[in-house]
Structure 1
Amino acid sequence: MSRRCFAPRVYGCPGLFGPPGPREPGVRGDDRTRRGGDVVRYDADVLVIGGGIIGLSTAYAITRAAPGTRVVVLEKEGGPARHQTGHNSGVIHSGVYYPPGSLKAAFALQGSAEMVKFCAEHGIAHEVTGKLIVATDRCELPRLHALAQRARQHAIPVRELGPAQIAAHEPRVRGRAALHIGTTGICDFGAVSAQLAQLAQDAGTSVRYGARVEVIGRRASAVAVRTATGEVLRARALVNCAGLHSDRVARLAGDDPGMRIIPFRGEYYELRPARADLVRGLVYPVPDPAFPFLGVHLTRGIDGSVHIGPNAVPALAREGYDWLTVRPGELARTLAYPGSWQIARRHWRYGMGELHRSLSRHAFTRAVRRLLPDVTTDDLIPAPAGVRAQALLPDGTLVDDFLFKESPRMVHVLNAPSPAATASLAIGREVARRALRHI
C-alpha cells in the first residue's frame, strides 16, 4: 500500500479512471457513466475489500437485499478467513457481556440464534453448549450479580449457581458462584465463511483471492482500486472490511479514520488429549471491567479439543502470530502513535502480567488453576495464536464497540470486535444497507 490518493480534493489517481477500454462481453450499457466529460466504465457496483467473515457476509447480504447488484470481493490472501475469523475460539456468544444500547448487544442478541440456524441449514458443525461464568474470588461476586441482571435485561436464559451446582456442570472447575448461560454455543467460523463465499458467488459475486489492494482513487461518480497484480477495478461504491488493516485502507482511500489499529496477540494452549476430560464445555472468568478482553477461559471446540486462553499481549506486526514475527515499519508506527503511550501508562500493570504469562508457561498455568485446580504445566500444549485488531483512539481509549465510518461512496468497518463472528450475518446486513445507499 505504497501510494495514497486523497479525497475529496483529489478525486482519483492517474490511470485509474480512464480512458475506458472497450466494452467487455456481458457489460450492460448503463455500466458506463459520463461525468464532467469523462466516461467511467464500472466493473462492479460494489467493491468489498476483505474476505473475512464480515466482508463475505456483506457481499452475501448485498446480493440478497438487491439481487442483480454486481459485487466483487478482493482478498489479499489465498483463501477466506485467514486471519481474525480463522484464529478465534469458535464461540457463538450470547450477548450477556454487552451493555444495553450498544451495537455489540444488538448484534449479538440477534446474531447468536441466527448463526445457529445458519449452521443447521447448511450442515456446518455446531452445538449449543451453554457456558459457565465463574467467580473464583469474593470480590468478583458483585460483578457476577451485575452480569445476571444484564442477562435478564437482554432476556437471555440465565441460572445462578453455587459451588455444588458448578460441580454438577463441570466437576473439575472450582468457584464461589457462577452463571449458566444457556444460549452460548460453538461452531466452525471458517466453514461459515466458506459457505458465505459460496452463497455470494452463487448469486453472482466475484470473490478474488490473492488480490491485495495497493491504490484507491475516488471521483464524484466512482471509486477505483489497483491491486498488486496491476488490475484496475472501478465501482460505484467501496466497502472496507480489511480487519487488521482497516485503518490503513481508510487512509489509502483518503479518509481519516480517527483511530489506529493496534494488534494484540491472543495466545492459547490446548489440553493434552489424555486430559481433555478436565473440561466438559465452556468456562469463563468474570471479566475485568477495566479491559475489554475476557481473560483466560476454557473452551471445548467443535472437534472435541479443549483450548485455554487467550492472554493479550502487543503483537510486533499486524499479522504477528508469534514473538519472532516483527515488521519494523508497522511496529514503529504503533510506537509513534500517541494512543499507544497513553494506554501503556494506564494499564502497564495489567500488561506486565499478560507478558509474564506469555513468556512463562508456569505463570500461565497458575492463572488457569484459579478455574481448573487440577491442571498442570505438563497438561498444556502450545496452540496457534490469534491477533485481535483493536481500535485505539489518540487519547489511549480502547474502542469497545463496533465503529463504522462513511464518506462519499465509501463505507469503512473500522472496529469489529467480538462478537463479530457470532453476529456476522446481522453485521453484514447493516454494512450492506449502508453500502447500497451510496449507489
Structure 2
Amino acid sequence: MAAYDCDVLVIGAGIVGLSTADAITHAAPGTRVVVLEKEPGPARHQTGRNSGVIHSGIYYPPGSLKARFALQGSAEMVKFCAEHDIPHEVTGKLIVATDRAELPRLHSLIQRGREHGLPVRELGPAQIAEYEPEVRGLAAIHVGTTGVCDFGAVARQLARLAMDAGARIAYGEEVTAIGRRPGRVAVRTAAGTVYRARALVNCAGLQCDRIARLAGDPPGMRIVPFRGEYFTLAPERASLVRGLVYPVPDPAFPFLGVHLTRGIDGAVHIGPNAVPALAREGYGWRTIRPTELVGTLAFPGAWRIARRHWRYGAGELRRSLSRRAFADAVRRLLPSARDEDLLPSPSGVRAQAVLPDGTLVDDFLFAESPGIVHVLNAPSPAATASLPIGREVAARVLGVLGASWR
C-alpha cells in the first residue's frame, strides 16, 4: 500500500477543483497539492456537459456570491481564454419576453444589470430583429458581456498550469474512505491507495455531500441531481440563430429555461430542460442507480420540492418525453423552428443542493471543519466564475494550513 504525503488533497478534477489547485500552487509556491479524480480525465461531468456560456452576472442579486464571482469571473475568463489560445467569443445575448406577464421581470433584470454596471440595452420587437431576425418577442434586453467558450479546454489548461507549478493529478482514484486526526487527513481510494495530507478540499460536485459525510461532516443538505437535456439545431437550419437567446427566467425555480446557444463550434444548442435524474450521473432515463435513487427518495427535501413545484416539473417532464413539446417551448422564441429541426444532443446533470425543508440552495455554499473545506453548492455560473472561486477556496484552505498568500 503506497502512501503519498502532501499538504493539500483536492477531491474532484472539474473546473472548480482544478482552479483551486492552480490557485494554491501559485499563491503559496512550494505547497504540495494532489488532486484526486475518479474518472480517467478532467471535466467529465458538469464542466464538460454544459452550454459553454460565459455568464455576465445579470441574473444574480447584488451582494450574492453568484453576483460577485460572475461579475469578476466573466472578464477573467475571457482574458484567460485569450492568453491561452482557448476558443472563445464575446457575443452578447438577448433575454426575450414573449408574454406580457414577463415584462415586469424583464424590467427588473434591466435595473439589476444597471446596478451591476453591465452594458444593457432595452429592445423593442424591431430592435430584436436587428440582432436575431428569426426571434420574436414583445421586448428584450441585450447584454453585451456574455460570451461562449470551451470550458473543458479551460479545465485542461488549468490542470497543465497546476502541474507545471508542482501539483499532481491522480486520475482513476475514487475516494471511498476518509479518516481524520488533528493536523492530518487520510484518504483511501477504491484502488487501496492511501493519501495523507495536512488539509482536504472537497470539490466533488455531484458527490460532494457524500464526501462530506465520509469525512464525518454532516453537510446539512443533499445533492438532488437534475438532468438537463439538450437538442442541436439541424446544421442546415443553424442560420436561424446568430448568437445567444434566453427566455425571461422564472424566479421561483433556479433554472434559466430552454435557451438557444450558438457555441464556439458554430452549432446551435437548445436547452436544457430540468428533470429529476435517477442517478447522480444519470445522463439518460435508462441510467438508474438504486442506492442513489433510494437515498434521494428518502430525503424529505426531495418530496417538498415535488409538492412545491409539481406544475413546473410536469411541464419539464413532458418536454423530456416529447420532442414536439420541447419544440413548442423553442417556438416561443423561434417560431420557425420545426420538430424535425431538433437533433438529440448529450445531456448534463446539475448538482443541486437542497435543504431538508425543500429549499433549493440558490447561491454558492461553502463549509469548513478542522482540516477540511467543502464546496457544497457550485451552481451556474461556477464555470464562468471558476477563477475567482478557485482563489476563494484556496484562501480558505491556506487559512486552514496557516499559510499566507505570497
- Alignment TM-score, normalising by the size of structure 2: 0.98
Counterpart CA distance in 2 for 1:42 and 1:336 is 38
What secondary structure does 2:309 align onto? helix
Matched, 1:183 2:126: no
- The number of equivalent residue pairs is 401
Matched ranges for 1:11-410 at <5 A: 43-410=5-372
Output the CA distance in 2 between the equivalents of 1:336 and 1:225. Answer: 28
| Alpha-carbon distance between aligned partners in 1 of 2:338 and 2:79, rounded to the nearest angstrom | 38
Judge conservation of contact 2:4–2:194 (CA < 8 Å) in 1: no
Which residue in the other structure is 2:404 paired with? none
Cα distance, 1:165 vs structure 2: 0.3
Partner AA of 2:147 in structure 1:
G
Q: For the Cα contact (< 8 Å) 1:316–1:323, is it kept in 2?
A: yes
CA contact (8 A) 2:6 2:34 kept: yes
- Measure, in 2, the Cα distance between the counterparts of 1:178 and 1:399: 28
- SS at structure 1 position matched to 2:176: strand
The offset of 1:126, in angstroms, is 0.2
Q: Deviations along 1:380-409, whole A, 9 cap, x unmatched?
A: 000000000000000000000000000000
Cα-to-partner distance string for 1:53-108 (whole Å, 9 max, x where unaligned) = 00000000001110010000000000000000000000000000000010000000
Deviations 1:22-44 (A, max 9, x none): xxxxxxxxxxxxxxxxxxx8700
In the aligned structure 2, how far is the partner of 1:333 from the partner of 1:429? 33
Unaligned runs of 5+ in 2: 402-406
Alignment RMSD: 0.9
Radius of gyration: which is bigger? 1
Q: Of 376, 379, 386, which aligns to 1:417?
A: 379
CA distance in structure 2 between the partners assigned to 1:123 and 1:354 by the alignment: 38
**Secondary structure at 1:366's aligned position in 2?**
helix
1:181 aligned partner, one-letter code: V
Code of the residue aligned with 1:58 in structure 2: it is T
Between the aligned partners of 1:132 and 1:215, the Cα distance in structure 2 is 47
Are 1:119 and 1:192, in contact at CA under 8 Å, matched by a contact in 2? yes
Contact 1:134 1:284 in 2 (8 A): yes
Q: Distance in 1 between matches of 2:196 and 2:329?
A: 52
Cα distance in 1 between the residues matched to 2:197 and 2:357: 36
Instruction: Indicate conservation of the 8 Å contact 1:42/1:236, yes or no.
Output: no
Tell me if the contact between 1:49 and 1:240 (Cα under 8 Å) persists in the aligned partners: yes
Partner of 1:31: none
The secondary structure found in structure 2 opposite 1:264 is: strand
Q: Structure 1 residue 173: deviation in Å?
A: 0.1
Amino acid at match of 1:49: I
C-alpha distance in 2 between matches for 1:289 and 1:436: 36
Counterpart AA for 1:256: P
In 1, the alpha carbon distance for the partners of 2:190 and 2:305 equals 35
The list of structure 1 runs, each at least 4 consecutive aligned residues, that deviate by more than 6 angstroms after superposition, is none
Equivalent residues of 1:107, 1:427 under 8 A apart: yes
State the identity %. Answer: 78
Tell me if the contact between 1:68 and 1:204 (Cα under 8 Å) persists in the aligned partners: yes
Q: TM-score, normalized by length of structure 1?
A: 0.91
Distance 1:309 1:221 in 2: 46
Deviation (angstroms), 1:438: 1.2
Q: Distance in 1 between matches of 2:35 and 2:113?
A: 37
